[in-house]
Structure 1
Amino acid sequence: MPADHVPPFLNPSRRQLLGASGALALGGLLPAAASAQPAWPAKSVRFVVPFAPGGSSEIVARSTAAELSKTLGQSVYVDNKPGAAGNIAMSEVARAEDQHTLILGHIGTLAVNPFIFDKLPYDANKDFKPVSLLAKVPSLYVVHPDVPAKNLKELIAYVKKNPGRLSYGSAGNGSAGHLAFEYLKMTAEIFMLHVPYRGTGPMMTDLLAGRLEASAVGAAAVLPFIKSGKVRCIATGSAKRLPHLPDVATVAEQGFPGFEMTQWYGMLAPANISAANLDKLATETAKAVKAPASLERLNADAAEAIGGTPAQFAQFIAAEQERWKKVLLRAKVKPD
Structure 2
Amino acid sequence: MAFPLSGRAIFGMAVSAIALTLALPAASAMAQGSGRPVRLILPISAGSGVDAIARAAGPSLGKSLGQPVVIENLPGAGGITGAAAVAKAPADGTTLGLFSNNHVINPSVYKKMPFDAIKDFTPISVIGSTPLVLVVNPKVPAKNVQELVALLRAKPDAFNYASSGNGTIIQLAAEMFLDEAHVRARHVPYKGTGPMVTDLIAGQVEIGVVALNAVAPHLKSGTLRAIGLCGATRSPAAPEIPTIAEQGLPNYAVEGWFAVVGPAGLPPAEVKRLNTVFVKAFTSADVLEAMRRQGNTINPGTPEAAAKFFQSEAARYAALVKKANVTLE
1:329 aligns with 2:326: no
Answer whether contact 1:239 1:252 (CA < 8 A) is retained. yes
Cα deviation 1:255-288 (Å, max 9, x = unaligned): 3346322222210012211111111211221232
Answer whether contact 1:251 1:259 (CA < 8 A) is retained. yes
3-state DSSP class of the match of 2:32?
coil
- Which of 189, 207, 212 does residue 182 from structure 2 map onto? 189
Name 1:139's counterpart in structure 2. 132
Q: Could you tell me the percent identity over the aligned residues?
A: 37
The offset of 1:98, in angstroms, is 4.5
Cα deviation 1:195-239 (Å, max 9, x = unaligned): 223333443344334343321111133222221222221101133
Answer whether contact 2:45 2:73 (CA < 8 A) is retained. yes
- Which of 222, 228, 240 does residue 221 from structure 2 map onto? 228
Name 1:313's counterpart in structure 2. 306
Cα deviation 1:110-162 (Å, max 9, x = unaligned): 22221222222211110111111123221111123333322112322332333
The offset of 1:50, in angstroms, is 2.2
Name 2:5's counterpart in structure 1. none
Name 2:233's counterpart in structure 1. 240
3-state DSSP class of the match of 1:62?
helix
> CA separation in 2, counterparts of 1:209 and 1:74?
41
Cα deviation 1:147-178 (Å, max 9, x = unaligned): 33221123223323333333322222113321
- Which of 97, 101, 114 does residue 107 from structure 1 map onto? 101
Amino acid aligned to 2:187: H
Name 2:33's counterpart in structure 1. 41
Q: Greater CA deviation, 154-163 or 99-108?
A: 154-163
> CA separation in 1, counterparts of 2:59 and 2:78?
26
Q: Greater CA deviation, 119-128 or 235-244?
A: 235-244
The offset of 1:56, in angstroms, is 2.4
- Which of 265, 270, 277 does residue 272 from structure 1 map onto? 265
Q: Residues 121, 242 of structure 1: CA spacing in aligned structure 2 closer, same or farther, 3 A cutoff?
A: same
Answer whether contact 1:59 1:297 (CA < 8 A) is retained. no
Superposition TM-score, scaled by structure 2 size: 0.82
Amino acid aligned to 1:240: T
The total of aligned residue pairs comes to 305
Name 1:8's counterpart in structure 2. none
CA RMSD of aligned residues (A): 2.7
- Which of 239, 256, 259 does residue 263 from structure 1 map onto? 256
Answer whether contact 2:200 2:207 (CA < 8 A) is retained. yes
- Which of 63, 66, 69 does residue 73 from structure 1 map onto? 66
Name 1:159's counterpart in structure 2. 152
> CA separation in 1, counterparts of 2:254 and 2:315?
14
Cα deviation 1:24-66 (Å, max 9, x = unaligned): xxxxxxx9x9875454322323222223434322232234443
> CA separation in 1, counterparts of 2:85 and 2:192?
23
Superposition TM-score, scaled by structure 1 size: 0.80
Name 1:295's counterpart in structure 2. 288
Q: Residues 196, 58 of structure 1: CA spacing in aligned structure 2 closer, same or farther, 3 A cutoff?
A: closer
Amino acid aligned to 1:225: H
> CA separation in 2, counterparts of 1:94 and 1:283?
22
> CA separation in 2, counterparts of 1:94 and 1:201?
26
Contiguous gaps of at least 5 residues in structure 2: 1-20
The offset of 1:249, in angstroms, is 0.7
After superposition, residues 78-97 of structure 1 pair within 5 angstroms as: 78-97=71-90
3-state DSSP class of the match of 1:264?
strand
